[in-house]
Amino acid sequence: MVPVPGGISISPAAATGATTTTTTTGKEEADGEVDTQEHKSYDTVILGGTFDHLHPGHKLLLHGTLLLLELPKPGQASSPSTVIIGVSGDPMLQNKKFADELESWDTRSRSVLAFLATTLHVSPPGDATAATAAVTPSSYRVERIVAGPSGGPELHAVYADGAVRVRCTVLEDPFGPTVDEEPIGAICVSGETRGGGRAVNEKRAAKGWHALDAYEVDVLDTRGIVEDGGGAREEDFAGKISSTAIRQQRAEAKAKAQI
């Protein structure tokens, strides 16, 4: 996976106890050669976040996670590859700024599933609770699970003719399923949450489990990119795609409307 200006860079993150993993980074060597390394893929990958008012930063993280999946070959009978997405539970977000503008867990989870459908090129969901719901090879279905493998409620969706299963779990602490489910192979983090990957592997090591390969997906810094007007951007792109900033804008717009 090769980074492009304003796009994503996905590379192995430093995580205590993690096994060495490699991916194509597009890093330029001193002699001008591109360092192209073997890309490793996994049956099960996990990531976590609030995913409030889904924005480009969230989408880059989700897209980068999909790139780590080991997908079955066409015509090959096998279990689906799994993405586990820990979506912060509502109680965890009570102290967030502009909390009145927070979306519910269900809304945030369904936004994630809908975005993944566009990434995997499938049509809108059918309702698993409706007896007449038709599921075609190009569609996906959302199913509510009372108690998932980690014990809590989940939303599940299956995509790409059953090749990919996505589980949205309620994240009630910083670790979630990473310390409940041993078979997970890799964790995808952002630059802001790379420390979480280290903490997860310390917890897993204490249980005698293998470390997760940790990958970091970063929004590339756009400072210094020259715009059409000839000047360089002063703002970091990452600063424009904050859920907090979105909630603030919504709160301020409501306040102005009441004046």
Give the Cα separation of 25 and 34 in Å (integer): 9
Helical (H) or strand (E) element with 32: none
pLDDT at 48 over 70: yes
pLDDT at res. 130: 37
pLDDT at 65 over 50: yes
User: Phi/psi zone of residue 115: left (φ > 0), alpha (ψ -120 to 50 degrees), beta?
Assistant: alpha
Model confidence over 173-209: pLDDT tens digits? 989 999 999 999 999 998 777 788 899 999 999 999 9
The helix-helix angle for 56-66 and 105-119 (nearest 10°) equals: 60
**Fold observed for domain 8-25+39-221:** Rossmann fold (3.40.50)
**Distance of alpha carbon 102 from the chain centroid:** 19
pLDDT at res. 182: 96
Q: How far apart are the first and last CA of the chain?
A: 50
Give the Cα separation of 135 and 125 in Å (integer): 8
Contacts of 258 (CB under 8 A, 6+ apart): none
Give 90: exposed, middle or buried? Use CB within 10 Å, 0-12, 13-18, 19+: middle
pTM: 0.73
Could you tell me the residue ranges of all domains in the chain?
Answer: 8-25+39-221
Instruction: Tell which wins on pLDDT, 56 or 131.
Output: 56
- Whether the CB-CB separation of 143 and 151 falls below 8 Å is answered with no
Residue that the structure tokens 């912060």 belong to: 88
Beta strands in 80-196 (DSSP E): 81-88, 123-127, 139-145, 154-159, 164-171, 186-190
Instruction: Tell which wins on pLDDT, 246 or 137.
Output: 246
Average pLDDT over residues 44-63: 90
pLDDT at 79 over 70: yes
pLDDT at res. 188: 93
pLDDT at 157 over 90: yes
pLDDT at res. 4: 36
pLDDT at res. 114: 92
pLDDT at res. 234: 40
